[in-house]
Amino acid sequence: MKPKGSLRKGAKMEFVLKHLHPVKIKEIKPIGNGDRVCLDMMSNFKSGHGLLVGSYNRSLFLIHCETMPNQFVSKRPARVNAGPVSMYVLCSNFTTKYLNELKPGDALFTVDSKGKTSVNTVARSKIEPRPMLLIRGTHRIRGSVIFKLLYSEGQDYFNGYRSIFHLKERKTGKPISVLDVEKYRNKQTNICADLDVETIVQDAETVPLVCRDGRPKSMKQLKPGDRIMAYIQNPELQSRHFGMAYEGFCLER
């Protein structure tokens, strides 16, 4: 059954560097055990590269390969400790799969913080119970983008996503109703929106995320206020059907 909206074939999609953003961490908290997927790839990752993985299609976080030294294990440059089984991962044809679906031979998209891309192929997937952490953050959206969405999608877009898309005045932080947005037509720089994003990772030293300066940092060292890299999907293409992005309403939270 096809969803409402127009499907877009994954093969025609492309990586857009300007959608790779630093997002601000708001909260990190333990959420119990889950089935973690660890991916061993056919080739070593290039320096600085990792996989785009996340809880939501709208935000895929850059999980770095295991090249950081620590006191527990040696470097494993062909491995990414990706996250729990239900997370999305970006494939080489720009569709997504659940981590649970991956098998040897699947080609995944890899990227670094500067936007350099490549493809790496799964050799083995390991699923094991491990303690998990929830990482919540926000991505700031400029006023000009808000008005572009308002004109192209209408007020229903903001009403549908109001639980994850928080309109406010940029300087004061005062919340703004979608009904009042039009008042800022001639002063678009005075408004912004915070988009809720999150992912889940294993609570382990071997899970580095990529910071805004391009350096990997173990999740054990991350804290609220830090900024880590994530791929923020086009707002018009936040929905997916069998891994393919399409234009249509789909609220993930």
- DSSP string of 93-140, one letter each residue: TS-EEEGGG--TT-EEEEE-TT--EEEEEEEEEEEEEEEEEEEEEEEE
**Strand boundaries in 154-232, DSSP class E:** 165-169, 191-202, 208-210, 216-218, 227-232
Name the phi and psi angles at 54, rounded to 5.
Answer: -170, 170
Instruction: Identify the pLDDT of residue 2.
Output: 39
Output the pLDDT for position 105. 97
- Per-residue pLDDT of 145-170, as tens digits, reads 888 777 766 666 666 667 777 889 99
Note the pLDDT of residue 247.
58
* Per-residue confidence in pLDDT tens, the chain, 253 aa: 333 444 344 334 566 777 889 999 999 999 999 999 999 999 999 878 999 999 987 889 999 999 877 777 778 999 999 999 999 999 998 889 999 999 999 999 999 888 889 999 999 999 999 999 999 999 998 888 888 777 766 666 666 667 777 889 999 999 988 888 888 888 888 999 898 999 999 999 889 999 999 899 999 999 999 999 999 875 544 555 445 555 555 666 6
Query: Is the CB of residue 204 less than 8 Å from the CB of residue 58?
Result: no
Quick one: which of 196, 195, 251, 200 has its CA closest to 87?
Answer: 200
What one-letter code names the amino acid at 88?
Y
Calpha distance 43→69 (Å, rounded): 19
Which residue(s) pair with 139 in the sheet?
Answer: 195
Q: Give the residue among 210, 207, 228 at the shortest CA–CA distance from 73.
A: 207
pLDDT score, position 70: 73
**Alpha carbons 13 and 214: distance in angstroms, whole number:** 25
For residue 163, the tally of other CB atoms under 10 A from its CB is: 9
